[in-house]
Amino acid sequence: MTQKPIELILMRQLASSLVMPIFLVDTSGTLVYYNEPAEQILGVRFDEIGEMPASEWTTRWEPSDVDGAPLLPERQPLTIALAQSRPAHGELWIRGIDGRRRHIHATAIPLVGASKRLLGAAAIFWEEPS
């Protein structure tokens, strides 16, 4: 495992103490962490699955649009924030590990450090009440 930038480590520490669900990726798009509130929506503890490449997490929870059509990674807020270094917001549906389809909103931001160095991206998301 490669050493993560200190800012990414600090972001993980901050996320672990917040009540909003947060999903954190590094510059390559690898999932590096999601917090306990996110576990409740995603249906699996981060400790059980660990880090995973973008090719896996962008499809694992079957993200889709309102009609159930798969939501391509390039249309997902977190991948937009990372690829384009800009904030992105979106509304999507996911299928938790428990099989339940959930309507969520996600706001993602690029994490940019000193000298405008991209460190990764973070998404704050929440489930729309049924």
Q: Structural domain boundaries of the chain? A: 6-109
Q: For position 2, what pLDDT does the model report?
A: 73
DSSP of 40-108: HHHTS-HHHH--B-HHHHHHHT--B-TTS-B--GGGSHHHHHHHHSS-EEEEEEEE-TTS-EEEEEEEE
Q: Dihedrals φ, ψ of 112, to 5°?
A: -120, 125
Query: Cβ distance 87 to 121 under 8 Å?
Result: no
Mean residue pLDDT across the chain: 95
CATH for 6-109 (3.30.1360.40, 3.20.20.450, 3.40.50.720, 3.30.450.20) = 3.30.450.20
Torsion angle, alpha carbons of 16, 92, 87, 50, to 10: 40
Does the pLDDT value for residue 79 go beyond 60? yes
Question: pTM of the prediction?
Answer: 0.93
**Structure tokens given for 76:** 């997902």
Mean pLDDT of the region 20-48: 97
**Side-by-side strand order, sheet with 88-95:** 31-34, 22-26, 118-127, 101-112, 88-95
Return the ∠ at Cα 50 (arms to 109 and 34), rounded to 5°: 35
Mean pLDDT of the region 62-88: 96
Q: For position 111, what pLDDT does the model report?
A: 98
